[in-house]
């Protein structure tokens, strides 16, 4: 019995049994949201508010969850595309549309059909669809290959939770990537 009491006292004071603070739950929620685990993030935000009902950031995050959910899905899709390595990308005088079709097939094959990029060319004026692409790349992340294809075609990508929309560059010629958060289930 005399050995049991110190063990109990030590066990109850260890960090494993320490009570988490609202800040701890909020940090965990942010981490889960960044990783794309939206449901876990919601749980942690709710736990934050249970401990601190006036936690403004947690309130804001829960109220903004629809937008944050779409952003998280886009981050996960972008990370997945970046994690796929293409052994050989060689395009000679292909149009943007042909390049995207070939790139999409390469990405699907390299990911064992677990990732489908779903490229959609939004070019009503026909400014970029016929632009030629000439690249020769080896052992490159799929996201970088897409960047080079779009650069040669003078196009930008606009992501949502399901599609990578390809559009002409803005009038100033800037090559910005945008993220659309209006996607819904």
Q: Which domain holds residue 170?
A: 86-179
Contact 130, 95 (CB under 8 A): yes
- How far apart CA 182 and CA 167 sit, in angstroms, is 17
- How far apart CA 59 and CA 53 sit, in angstroms, is 8
Q: Are residues 108 and 40 located together in one domain of the fold?
A: no
Q: Are residues 90 and 175 located together in one domain of the fold?
A: yes
**Of 78, 102, 120, which marks where a domain is finished?**
78
Q: Are residues 68 and 124 located together in one domain of the fold?
A: no
Q: What is the pLDDT of residue 130?
A: 80
Q: Are residues 141 and 174 located together in one domain of the fold?
A: yes
Q: What is the pLDDT of residue 72?
A: 80
Q: Are residues 96 and 116 located together in one domain of the fold?
A: yes
Q: What is the pLDDT of residue 10?
A: 39
Q: What is the mean pLDDT of each run of 10 residues along the chain (185 residues)?
A: 43 50 94 85 93 93 83 87 96 95 96 94 87 95 97 94 90 46 40
Q: What is the pLDDT of residue 11?
A: 42
Q: What is the pLDDT of residue 47?
A: 94
Q: Are residues 73 and 119 located together in one domain of the fold?
A: no
Residue 13, token pair as written in the block = 């004071």
Contacts within 8 Å (CB) and 24+ apart, 21-30: 21/51, 22/48, 22/49, 22/51, 22/52, 22/55, 22/58, 25/51, 25/58, 26/55, 26/57, 26/58, 29/58, 29/61
DSSP H or E segment with residue 30 = helix 22-34
- How far apart CA 81 and CA 77 sit, in angstroms, is 6
Q: Are residues 56 and 95 located together in one domain of the fold?
A: no
Contact 143, 106 (CB under 8 A): no
The count of structural domains within the chain is: 2
Q: Are residues 171 and 90 located together in one domain of the fold?
A: yes
Residue 163 Cα distances to 77, 104, 158, angstroms = 10, 12, 8
Residue 11 lies in a domain: no
For residue 124, give the CATH number of its domain: 3.55.50.30
- What are the DSSP E strand ranges found in 16-110? 85-95
**Of 25, 43, 78, which marks where a domain is finished?**
78
Contact 118, 164 (CB under 8 A): yes
Residue 3 lies in a domain: no
């Amino acid at each position: 019995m005399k050995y049991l009491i110190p063990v109990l006292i030590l066990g109850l004071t260890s960090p494993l049994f320490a009570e988490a603070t609202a800040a701890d739950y909020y940090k965990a929620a942010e981490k889960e949201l960044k990783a794309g685990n939206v449901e876990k993030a919601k749980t942690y935000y709710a736990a934050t508010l249970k401990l601190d009902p006036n936690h403004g950031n947690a309130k804001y995050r829960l109220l903004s969850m629809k937008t944050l959910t779409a952003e998280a899905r886009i981050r996960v899709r972008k990370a997945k595309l970046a994690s796929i390595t293409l052994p050989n990308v060689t395009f000679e005088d292909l149009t943007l549309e042909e390049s995207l079709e070939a790139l999409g097939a390469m990405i699907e094959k390299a990911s064992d059909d677990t990732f489908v990029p779903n490229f959609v060319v939004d070019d009503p004026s026909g400014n970029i669809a016929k632009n030629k692409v000439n690249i020769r790349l080896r052992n490159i992340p799929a996201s970088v290959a897409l960047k080079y294809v779009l650069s040669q075609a003078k196009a930008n990508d606009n992501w949502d939770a399901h599609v990578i929309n390809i559009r002409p560059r803005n009038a100033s010629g800037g090559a910005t990537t945008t993220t659309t958060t209006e996607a819904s289930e």
